[in-house]
């Protein structure tokens, strides 16, 4: 158990819809990162939040957006869902020693 | 795109044998981390090795890092059925705590 939780566990959406995924960081961690993992691939960095500000972004379009709250929990929002957005979405909170601790992920299926 | 490449992509060995997985990367790094993932679930942090370290141990795990060759290896000794999982290396090539993952090695331990 890493102390990082994500909700929901599974989600099915229709193409064109919007989705919000949630992440609760491990206590004491003020940095949260989001990753997308397609089937059979390694995770790809979406973006990172540090003290409620976006602190770096990977190669993802603007329809992927996020928020971090004062308690360091976080949301990932995806608008105008596409079939290729089907993936496991992972959030990770970071320790001061650079180790990242991942949540169990949210499996998103877009039909 | 993935920065790292793991080798082999898949490995199947008998319980009790040692398993070695390799990871190569392309750019300078400050640290490299190894993760385990069971059946498409969350990633479990195994070891972080910094660029000024050459070898690190944790229980049955041994990680080496050769920055001149831009490569790392993960050795699991005396393998167990419970070690069956996918193993990923990740570097901070994307920036502090913005991990860049390889494609992973799928390890199967046969009883």
pLDDT band at B1 (very low <50, low <70, confident <90, very high): very low
Shortest Cα distance from A27 to chain B (angstroms)?
17
> Which pLDDT score, from 0 to 100, does residue A4 have?
93
DSSP conformation letters of B40-83 = T--EEEEEEEETT-SEEEETTEEEEEETTTTEEEEEE-S--GGG
Chain-centre distance for alpha carbon A38: 13
Q: Does B2 score more than 80 pLDDT?
A: no
Rounded Cα gap, residues B1 and A60, in angstroms: 11
pLDDT digits (tens, 9 = 90+) for A3-62: 899 999 999 999 999 999 999 988 788 899 999 999 989 999 999 998 889 989 999 999
Residue B17 gets which letter from DSSP?
S
pLDDT digits (tens, 9 = 90+) for A51-93: 889 989 999 999 999 999 988 899 999 999 999 999 999 999 9
CB of A1 less than 8 A from some CB of B: no
Tell me the three state secondary structure of residue B19.
strand
Q: Does B90 score more than 90 pLDDT?
A: yes
Tell me the three state secondary structure of residue A71.
coil
| Contact assignment for B31 to A42 by CB distance below 8 Å | no
CB of A60 less than 8 A from some CB of B: no
User: Pick from B42, B98, B104: which is nearest to A56 by CB?
Assistant: B98
Cβ partners under 8 Å of residue A7, min gap 6? A21, A22, A106
> Which pLDDT score, from 0 to 100, does residue A82 have?
98
The answer to which of A91-100, B21-30, B73-82 has the lowest mean pLDDT is A91-100
Which is more confidently placed, A97 or B59?
A: B59
Q: Which residues of A touch B48 (CB under 8 A)?
A: 97-99
């Amino acid at each position: 158990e890493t102390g990082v939780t994500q909700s929901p566990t599974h989600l099915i959406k229709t193409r064109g819809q919007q989705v919000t995924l949630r992440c609760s960081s491990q206590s004491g961690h003020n940095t949260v990162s989001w990753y997308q993992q397609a089937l059979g691939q390694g995770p790809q960095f979406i973006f990172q939040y540090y003290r409620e500000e976006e602190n770096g972004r990977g190669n993802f379009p603007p329809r992927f957006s996020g928020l971090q709250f004062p308690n360091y929990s976080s949301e990932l929002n995806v608008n105008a869902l596409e079939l290729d957005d089907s993936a496991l979405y992972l959030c990770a909170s970071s320790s001061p020693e650079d180790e990242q601790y991942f949540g169990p992920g949210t499996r998103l299926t877009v039909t | 795109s993935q920065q790292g490449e793991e080798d082999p992509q898949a490995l199947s060995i008998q319980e009790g044998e040692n398993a070695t997985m390799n990871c190569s990367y392309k750019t300078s790094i400050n640290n490299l981390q190894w993760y385990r993932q069971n059946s498409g679930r969350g990633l479990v942090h195994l070891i972080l090795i910094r660029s000024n370290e050459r070898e690190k141990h944790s229980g049955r795990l041994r990680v080496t890092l050769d920055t001149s060759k831009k490569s790392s290896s993960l050795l699991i000794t005396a393998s167990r059925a419970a070690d069956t999982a996918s193993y990923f290396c990740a570097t901070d090539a994307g920036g502090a705590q913005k991990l860049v993952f390889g494609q992973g090695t799928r390890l199967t331990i046969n009883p």
